[in-house]
Amino acid sequence: MAKIKEYIPLVGQPVIDDLRLLSERLKGKVIQHINSTPVGGGVAEILNRMVPLLRELGVDTKWDVIKGGEQFFAVTKKFHNALHGRAEEIIQRDFEIFMETSQQNIDGVDIYGDIVFIHDPQPVALVKKKASNKWLWRCHIDVSNPNARVWKFLMDFIVHYDSAVFSAPAFSQRLPIRQFLISPSIDPLSDKNKELSQETIDAVLKKYGIKKDKPIITQISRFDRLKDPVGVIEAYLRVKKYTDCQLILAGGAAEDDPEGSKVLEEVKEKAKHDPDIHILLLPQNDIEVNALQRASDVVIQKSIREGFGLTVAEALWKAKPVVASNVGGIPLQIKHKYSGLLCHSIEGTSFAIKQLLSSPAYAKKLGENGREHIKNNFLITRHLREYMLLFLSLYHPEDVVHLC
Ligand code: UDP
């Protein structure tokens, strides 16, 4: 795990000095993060890096995970989809199941943080344990068009928090509490994003039987309908009529996502006649994900809905040309025709891929611009700074944090 000083060559000494200054002000405070899965998905990805770095900076940071059974996570997945604006049939029993497991967690989870930092809807009801400590609700979902019933249900909890945090301006909501806009980030020195030797990349390709004889198009995502893996295959098949190429669809499972195996079956069915489609189940192997992203000629993120879309930042950081849907936090990362190509349909996705495969110089330029954009806006050092300011703001209701 990289030490904080190793970020200096990337972001400069003043940025790190700033982090140290802020962390000094948080001495004596315990920050307790709580979410619903230790692995899989963007939230766990960020916490895995954020927690040790905050600790190294001297901020006493802990991370706990709530418990839930199959039924609970089936309900929270429905809520997740509904909050993203997808049509879902939500019945009264769903709310009851949510509350039954929430009550078990209210009884079972030890709350000891001076600041309790709750991620996403699954643990939202823990706020019932609020005492004199500070509570933050961090929403990683695009709730710009949420299912009204689910949102109303959550609001009964959200209003008890001290502040809420959203990933993008478009996701903010009318709330009676203070809200902050903080984008997620990637860690440039993690196994997922660090530089890799060509040998390592080649070894991963060899392990999965992927040859370098034709262009590689890749989407890395949980097998989730909102990531539209079947749509990715359709776009690829359209490209393949003109340019011989291969597709990698790589995804692991998240413990709080019960839909994965069903979607994976649909994807396998759709891909079964094409040996150039590589469907990979990667069991939490960050180096392999890194290598596959680096080996790609084009990276896709054809989501129907998206929170922030960390995979886009990861690919751009590797200076890859990216074709991604104009949803959620993706347009924050991709300025169309400058740091990637935004698309709205299967046809648009295949058109953009064809364009990139046939214009390598253009593709390279988009990738380079993308890397610069991520460097300036979406690295973990910016995120650490904003989180520490957020923590301090909880003790400064006047909207100004005096650091001197
Ligand atoms: N990821 C991974 N292995 C997989 C699928 C995804 O490591 O098989 C990682 C991916 O690299 C990214 C995160 O999981 O860091 C997904 O975050 P994103 O914001 O793209 O989507 P989410 O899953 O949170 O909706």
Q: Verify that 260 and 372 share a domain, yes or no.
A: yes
Q: Verify that 12 and 120 share a domain, yes or no.
A: yes
Q: Cα(399) to centroid of ligand 1, in Å?
A: 34
Q: Verify that 160 and 214 share a domain, yes or no.
A: no
Q: Verify that 239 and 347 share a domain, yes or no.
A: yes
Q: Verify that 349 and 387 share a domain, yes or no.
A: no
CATH (domain of 357): 3.40.50.2000
Q: Verify that 389 and 373 share a domain, yes or no.
A: no
Percent of the chain residues past pLDDT 70, beyond the cut: 98
**399 in a structural domain:** no
pLDDT at 401 over 80: no
pLDDT at 255 over 80: no
Q: Cα(177) to centroid of ligand 1, in Å?
A: 30
**403 in a structural domain:** no
The H-or-E segment that residue 31 falls in is strand 30-35
Percent of the chain residues past pLDDT 90, beyond the cut: 91
**280 in a structural domain:** yes
**Mutate which of 76, 139, 220 to test ligand 1's pocket (most atoms within 8 Å of Cβ)?**
220
| Closest-CA residue to 289 (of 213, 230, 201, 215) | 201
**400 in a structural domain:** no
Domain containing residue 307: 198-377
**Mutate which of 191, 193, 221, 259 to test ligand 1's pocket (most atoms within 8 Å of Cβ)?**
221
How far lies 52's CA from each of 5, 100, 126, 321, in Å? 13, 33, 24, 31
Q: Cα(160) to centroid of ligand 1, in Å?
A: 30
**262 in a structural domain:** yes
pLDDT band for position 404 (cuts 50, 70, 90): low
Q: Verify that 356 and 211 share a domain, yes or no.
A: yes
Q: How buried is residue 209: exposed, middle or buried, by Cβ count under 10 Å (0-12/13-18/19+)?
A: exposed
Mean pLDDT of the chain: 95
Q: Cα(187) to centroid of ligand 1, in Å?
A: 13
CA-281 nearest atom, ligand 1: 8
Looking at residue 252, its pLDDT comes to: 78
- For 162-210, the pLDDT digits (tens) are 999 999 999 988 899 999 999 999 999 999 999 999 999 999 999 999 9
pLDDT at 318 over 90: yes
- Residues near ligand 1 (Cβ within 6 A): 41-42, 45, 192, 220-222, 250-252, 282, 289, 307-311, 314
Q: Verify that 202 and 178 share a domain, yes or no.
A: no
**96 in a structural domain:** yes
Give the type of residue at 129: K
Looking at residue 242, its pLDDT comes to: 96
CA-282 nearest atom, ligand 1: 8
pTM > 0.85: yes or no:
yes
Q: Verify that 142 and 22 share a domain, yes or no.
A: yes
- For 141-166, the pLDDT digits (tens) are 999 999 999 999 999 999 999 999 99
In degrees to the nearest 10, what's the CA dihedral of 365, 366, 371, 373?
120
Looking at residue 260, its pLDDT comes to: 87
Looking at residue 259, its pLDDT comes to: 82
